[in-house]
Structure 1
Amino acid sequence: MVRAPSGIHTMNIFIPSILLSMGGKCLLNWALVFFQRNCICRSFVGVFSVSLAVVDTALTLLFTTIHIHSNGHIFLLGLHLTRYHICLLLQILEQVYNALQWPVVVIAGLNHFCTVSQRLQPAGSMARWIIYLFVTILLWYLAAFYIFLLSDFIPVLEDVPYQQMHQCWIICSSQILQVATLLLLTLGCAALYTGYTTRLLKSPPVEDQITDQSGMHSRRSIVCQALNILVNTWTPFFIFLAVLLLLPVPSYLGLNVAWLCFLNSFLIGTVLCVVCPTSQLAQGLAAVPHDSFCEWRFKFSLAAKDECAK
């Protein structure tokens, strides 16, 4: 038996359990893609979600076909595939998913930043779709290129004949834990910010600080409302994030469309709070990216609207 290299957390899981979990993931992916079908191609996250669902489905069908074959092997395009290849391809896929976590977050954030700040001229739907598709394909290619040629990835396989191979070493996700930790810290900072500004605004105002406090109140209102929208919509997922920090999660399950939908909502809320001018939000003129789960509508008092219009 080949052991995992030091510093890499692994689990030994039965192949049928892996196939069942991958099948469930595929069903969840396509259910969410269908739910967002009207706006799935209007953002980078949507196009990448479709590509992820296609990759997961293709590999799940391939792994299932190999496993259910009576001898545990199959010939495909002249290649002799066995249960060894299930474990090998699954570990490669996990490494690719780990490598994609941060780039997807960064690119999705930049996409929403350009939309909200209107730094780029608006393009047609077909042009946007082509750009998102090109970026998605390039991202998959670069992630695979990094894993095969630049990383120090070493497969962990059982030293037994493929007929007797019934388990696979699964690599636990590390990148998703980093992203989840950052998201929870950001939410905690937002909650502390709203509480801090509440206490600050209750102090006796100085005449030359009235304008600054009004602007701070407006920004705090945006952050507070965005936090409420996000928490009210994704409460079950926050519980899942807390579990992620306590339990090991297989990398092949870590990157899924549900996770991408949550990231999309979180990044939209963050960009609106940081970038979008309060006056545009108050007057309903802000360019809000598409979100199938959260309705990003902010409410302002008449006094706050008057201050924003000045």
Structure 2
Amino acid sequence: MMISIPSILLGLGGKCLLNWALVFLQRNNICKSLLGVFSVSLAVVDTILTLFVTSLHMHADGYVFLLGLKLTRYHVCLLVQILGRVCNALQWPVAVAAGCDHFFTVTRGLQTITGRTRLIVCLFVSGLLWYLTVLYVFLLSDFLPVMEDVSHDQIHQCRIFHTTQILQVAMFSLLTLGCAALHAGCSTGFLKTPPLKEQITEQSRAHLRRDAVHQAIHIFVNTWAPFLCFLAVLVLAPVGIPAYLGLNVAWLCFLNSLVIAVIFCTVCPASQITQGLAAAPPDHFCEWRFQFILAGEDRT
């Protein structure tokens, strides 16, 4: 689709403000997870690009020299298209890396790692994700920028591509969440009958599992219901999100909560949750507290 350059700059500016507002809101926990560190790197990249393309577009001569290269208004469209393609390609790698990070946090698989070491690892992984994705876009993908055949001083619109990866990641994660809830709800119907003692034990575990899954989904849905409605509208409506706006800190916050819910529902045993052995990853929006009633007592 064609979008005017002022509209692109306005969208990038709004994205930068939203990114930094959410980073500031989560400043106490932003460096404790991979998604938090990556959110800061995304805010920095978006800000640098926005300032650069704005100055390039507003320059009186219509061009600037940078490192011996003559950059014109053509390069505004080129840079925005590159950003969109990189952000589109980053969706799945970021989701998978966040899932691994939260998995080790929930299961306490990396208890010996200190806070400083964890931060260094997150910085390294974030930089590696950016580097490998940029290499993929330029060397391995079929990315071809689309430029209008006009002179640089007359260009006023850019051809922008839609992002499709957001809906793919969201639908796959929500489908996994739904399957986990369905499995937990149906597990009590497939219990072994003999012997009676083992049956009672398995029944108790199944009920705990179902309760943990239902609470995790309840916490997630109660927090992100408006955003889920927005995603539903995007699926049903014949509109799309420009690729350069697709990857933002608001989406990463939603993805953070979604991945945590999926891990609690799929790979974290209910016994670890009830006994306090499962650590909830940092999440500024969802309060991951589970309550169970066992033998007449309340446990949180």
Q: Which residue of 2 aligns with 1:175?
A: 165
Which letter maps to 1:271?
I
Deviations 1:167-207 (A, max 9, x none): 00101112122112213323433454455458x49x9x884
CA distance in 1, matches of 2:100, 2:243: 25
Instruction: Indicate the SS of the match to 1:295.
Output: coil
Could you tell me whether the CA contact under 8 Å between 2:184 and 2:209 is conserved in 1?
Answer: no
CA distance in 2, matches of 1:135, 1:184: 25
CA gap of 1:184–1:268, structure 2 versus 1, over 3 A, is: closer
Q: Which residue of 2 aligns with 1:40?
A: 30
Which deviates the most, 25-34 or 278-287? 278-287
Q: Which residue of 2 aligns with 1:124?
A: 114
CA distance in 2, matches of 1:119, 1:162: 55
Given the alignment of the two structures, is residue 265 of structure 1 paired with residue 261 of structure 2, yes or no?
no
Which letter maps to 1:176?
I
Given the alignment of the two structures, is residue 57 of structure 1 paired with residue 50 of structure 2, yes or no?
no
Instruction: Indicate the SS of the match to 1:126.
Output: helix
Q: Which residue of 2 aligns with 1:186?
A: 176
Q: Which residue of 1 aligns with 2:275?
A: 283
Deviations 1:50-76 (A, max 9, x none): 000000000011111111123432223
Q: CA deviation at 1:295?
A: 0.8
Which letter maps to 1:249?
I
Which letter maps to 2:261?
G
CA gap of 1:231–1:304, structure 2 versus 1, over 3 A, is: farther
Could you tell me whether the CA contact under 8 Å between 1:98 and 1:251 is conserved in 2?
Answer: yes
CA distance in 2, matches of 1:123, 1:179: 29
CA distance in 2, matches of 1:254, 1:271: 24
Could you tell me whether the CA contact under 8 Å between 2:177 and 2:261 is conserved in 1?
Answer: no
Given the alignment of the two structures, is residue 256 of structure 1 paired with residue 230 of structure 2, yes or no?
no
CA distance in 1, matches of 2:266, 2:40: 29
CA distance in 1, matches of 2:62, 2:35: 37
Q: CA deviation at 1:304?
A: 8.3
Could you tell me whether the CA contact under 8 Å between 2:3 and 2:160 is conserved in 1?
Answer: yes
Given the alignment of the two structures, is residue 134 of structure 1 paired with residue 162 of structure 2, yes or no?
no
Which deviates the most, 109-118 or 47-56? 109-118
Could you tell me whether the CA contact under 8 Å between 1:279 and 1:305 is conserved in 2?
Answer: no
Instruction: Indicate the SS of the match to 2:153.
Output: helix
CA distance in 2, matches of 1:244, 1:103: 22
Paired positions, count: 294
Given the alignment of the two structures, is residue 93 of structure 1 paired with residue 68 of structure 2, yes or no?
no
Could you tell me whether the CA contact under 8 Å between 1:91 and 1:155 is conserved in 2?
Answer: yes
Given the alignment of the two structures, is residue 229 of structure 1 paired with residue 200 of structure 2, yes or no?
no
Which letter maps to 1:118?
R
Q: Which of 147, 150, 153 in structure 2 is aligned with 1:157? A: 147
Which letter maps to 2:255?
L
Deviations 1:14-57 (A, max 9, x none): 01111111111101100000011011011000000000000000
Q: Which of 133, 136, 145 in structure 2 is aligned with 1:143? A: 133
CA gap of 1:269–1:122, structure 2 versus 1, over 3 A, is: farther
- Output the TM-score relative to the length of structure 2: 0.91
Deviations 1:214-255 (A, max 9, x none): 211111101100001001111111112112323211111110
Which letter maps to 2:291?
K
For structure 2, the residue ranges without an aligned partner over 5 or more in a row are: none
Could you tell me whether the CA contact under 8 Å between 1:181 and 1:245 is conserved in 2?
Answer: no
Which letter maps to 1:294?
C
Q: Which residue of 2 aligns with 1:7?
A: none
Q: What is the percent sequence identity of the aligned residues?
A: 63
- Where in structure 2 are the equivalents of 1:18-29 lying within 5 Å? 18-29=8-19
Q: CA deviation at 1:124?
A: 1.5
CA distance in 1, matches of 2:296, 2:224: 28
Instruction: Indicate the SS of the match to 1:159.
Output: coil
Q: CA deviation at 1:78?
A: 2.8
CA distance in 2, matches of 1:32, 1:69: 31
CA distance in 1, matches of 2:70, 2:165: 33
Given the alignment of the two structures, is residue 113 of structure 1 paired with residue 103 of structure 2, yes or no?
yes
